[in-house]
Chains A and B, each alone.
Chain A
Amino acid sequence: MIVKQGIPVSAGVVIAPAFVIGTEDYRIPQRFVTIDDVDQELERFQAGMKLVCDELSEHEELASEQLGKQYGAIFAAHLQMVQDPKMIGEITELIRDKCYSPEYATTKVLQQYAKLFQNLGNQYFAERAADIFDLEHRMLKHLLGERREDLLHLTQPVVILANNLTPSETANLDKKFVLGFATEAGGRTSHTAILAGALEIPAVVGIGDVLSQVSGGETIIIDGYTGELIIDPDEKTLERFEKVVHKHQQHIERRKSYADLVPETRDHVRIQIMGNIEFPEEVDHCLERGSDGVGLYRTEFLYLQEGKEPNEQVHYEAYKRVAETMQGRPVVIRTLDLGADKVPGALEKLLFQTTNPMLGLRSIRLSLQNQPLFKTQLRAILRAALLGDIRIMFPLVSTLRELRQAKMILSDVMEDLEEEGIAFRRDVPVGMMVEVPSAAILAEQFAREVDFFSIGTNDLIQYTLAVDRADPNVANLYSAGDPAVIKMIQLVVDAARRENKPVTVCGQMSSEPRFLPVLIGLGIRQVSVTPAMIPELKEVIRNLDIGTSEEIARHVASLDSARDVENYLRGELHKLCPEYAEEFDF
């Protein structure tokens, strides 16, 4: 039995066999082939290279079109490199004469070139090795092709163990067989965490080395409450966890009865609880729990699922489904919130050239620089808005100019639709995420130009404290309870109140029961949370009154460290909802 400790990111407990997704992105299944297979393997190599060339040409075209010729030129150069007769000759020779598998031969030759570049002694040329590695990955991707997909082909319920799941890997997983996730890397806001939350299955991330100790098929326990991962549990442990699983199920059953409860404080102030969703299917999770709407519809998966840019119809169908299912309840659609690295097709290259993607071209910045991409999404939103209470939200706005530009593009899109005679809704409310300190500081100016705010605490904490939670060396500095973060929220709430604009909190912070009293005390009356947390939060709200909440907020303002704030809030939650706290062993 091996016990590992990670960060719990999605609640629940599961016991199931392990399914391991390799440590290396491109595990080479076979190094050598038999002499009889050589001709066939050579053909496979050529076919693979043709796919690589097609992909690069497509990228070249896309990049030139959307980003300018200089970006297209990078792909054109890659295209020439993969067609390099000498390199192709060397790979072919290894396959033919040494019976190397095409994958192994490719890696061999490209790694040698990369090493040559690294040794050239000139920094600029040495960095070209990265281009070679990129080519290597691209070639392997096409050579491995279906074999790689096979890895993700599931036939029975499992828990997934991986170093770090990429969006495309998770998109390809057959979700009905996945009962839990555990990853070596990643933090609370990692992709795995979001996906596990969306699927409502337990997940633990940031475990550190574990793949070297499993080969697949072992019995695994994932405890999404404590962050424990247990490999090959002994009988006693297994028995203990079977009880926990049972209790968890009971707990879920009990919470189901909360769907019809109204989230109202003891002094009859109605708090709006909405759900954060990623996939259209999740609206059902929201409705089951009596959600007041969808406060944050992340649209990134539309971009990640297909491996290429979604067209207007793909957007429209997704928004239509959500709007119709929510039957007139508000649905806040957040426009693309990805870094350039995550956008399929040509744009991935941009990240290659930036050193700090979190401060680089992402989110609204990416949309403003890629208007065709942005306009496609806006058109679909405006059209779908006829089917329900859809609202538009721009992410990561850091200057008024960006907000004005985004709004201007939105009116351009309206004009286009009108000219084309396509039906859409003109008076769609337009809001913005407040997740950059500059937006919080200038909240009053921003409030005059938007219909609503939504505070994205994950990024607001990251940018306020300059901490990347995924970095274990500094992760302990990341806290929603930090006095600076609380003050930022206060700034936004006060500014919005003066301008009479609503504010929602939609980050992880609002899904954590202990922070709810202080948020309400600060003046928040709307939260948007992980759907699974809606029943719990309703229970907390029904035990609160505004006076107590304001007192809690006042006391928090007097504290000067994140730890004091968190401890105090934990204690207050104990006092407010002893039953709840006991159940979760706070």
Chain B
Amino acid sequence: MNWTTESSLLQEPISEISAADRADMTPADYLEQDVVVNVEHGMHMIPCSRIALIARDTTCEVRVVLNDQIADARNVLDLLMLKAEQGTTLKLQTCGDGAEQVLQNLVALFERNFELPPH
């Protein structure tokens, strides 16, 4: 990609969690569950914004992971940047107060297919 120097603010890793923090966290700190994207056209604006809505409503850490990409679920643009197409498996991770409930809510969102019209 062709970045000008001023674009450097976008060159940092997608997640806001620093590399040091990430190293400290063992996978055991996170509750996690795999979900399959069943949305036509993949994870577009509308499903991503619904995830962000839930993530912003909680104090716990919410991440969506695709391969080596980690997105902070509060950021719609980060979620979009995962470019998760239909059929992709995503890993949902939550950590902190009420992590279990948040994870369940997110999984339910995927199960209801974000209440998008059936395709």
Contacts and interface: CB of A to CB of B under 8 A. Distances in A.
B72 A128 contact: no
Interface of A: 70, 73-74, 76-81, 83-87, 90, 93-94, 108-109, 112-113, 116-117, 119-122, 124-125, 128, 131
Contact of B10 (A77, A116, A122, A131): A116
Interface string B62-84: 00000000001011111011010
28 contacts: A70-B116, A73-B46, A76-B46, A76-B49, A77-B76, A78-B45, A80-B49, A80-B53, A80-B76, A81-B45, A81-B49, A84-B75, A85-B56, A85-B74, A86-B16, A86-B75, A93-B9, A108-B6, A109-B9, A113-B10, A113-B77, A116-B10, A120-B83, A122-B42, A122-B83, A125-B44, A125-B83, A128-B44
A77 B49 contact: yes
Contacts of A125: 42, 44, 80, 83
B57 to A, nearest CB: 12
B117 A70 contact: yes
B76 A131 contact: no
B20 interface: no
B42 A124 contact: yes
B45 A74 contact: yes
Contacts of B77: 81, 84, 86-87, 113
Contacts of A124: 41-42, 44
Given A85-B74, A87-B75, A112-B7, A74 B80 contact: no
Nearest to A90: B9
Interface string B14-47: 0010000000000000000000000001101110
A109 B75 CA distance: 14
A80 B7 contact: no
Contact of A116 (B49, B74, B81): B81
Given A86-B74, A108-B6, A120-B83, 13 more contacts: A70-B116, A77-B46, A80-B49, A80-B53, A83-B56, A84-B76, A86-B75, A86-B77, A109-B9, A112-B9, A116-B10, A119-B1, A125-B83
Contacts of B56: 83, 85
A81 B78 CA distance: 10
Contacts of B45: 74, 77-78, 81, 128, 131
Interface in B76-117: 76-78, 80-81, 83, 85, 116-117
A87 B78 CA distance: 10
Contacts of B1: 116, 119
Contacts of A86: 16, 72, 74-75, 77-78
A76 B75 CA distance: 14
Nearest to A93: B9
Contacts of B7: 112
Residue in B52, B85, B116 with the greatest tally of chain A CB atoms within 10 Å: B52
Given A116-B81, A120-B83, A124-B41, A81 B10 contact: no
A284 B110 CA distance: 62
A85 B75 contact: yes
Contacts of A87: 75, 77
A477 B78 CA distance: 49
Contact of A117 (B49, B50, B53, B80): B80
A74 B7 CA distance: 28
Nearest to A94: B9
B46 A122 contact: no
Nearest to A125: B83
Contacts of A108: 6
Contacts of A117: 80
Contacts of A122: 42, 83, 85
A25 to B, nearest CB: 23
Nearest to A119: B1
Contacts of B46: 73-74, 76-77
A73 B115 CA distance: 10
A471 B79 CA distance: 40
Q: Which of A90, A120, A125, A131 has the most CB of B within 10 A?
A: A125
A121 B81 CA distance: 11
Contacts of B16: 86
- B42, B44, B46, B77 pick with most chain A CB within 10 angstroms: B77
Contacts of A128: 44-45, 80
A86 to B, nearest CB: 4
A112 to B, nearest CB: 5
Contacts of A77: 45-46, 48-49, 76
Contacts of B83: 120-122, 125
A22 B53 CA distance: 38
Nearest to B84: A125
Which are the 3 A-B pairs with shortest beta-carbon distances? A80-B49, A77-B49, A77-B45
A112 B78 CA distance: 13
Contacts of A94: 9
B95 to A, nearest CB: 18
Nearest to A73: B46
A78 B76 CA distance: 9
A117 B82 CA distance: 11
A117 B44 CA distance: 11
A128 B47 CA distance: 13
Contacts of A83: 56
B38 to A, nearest CB: 15
Nearest to A108: B6
B6 to A, nearest CB: 7
A125 B76 CA distance: 13
Most buried by A among B6, B45, B74, B85: B45
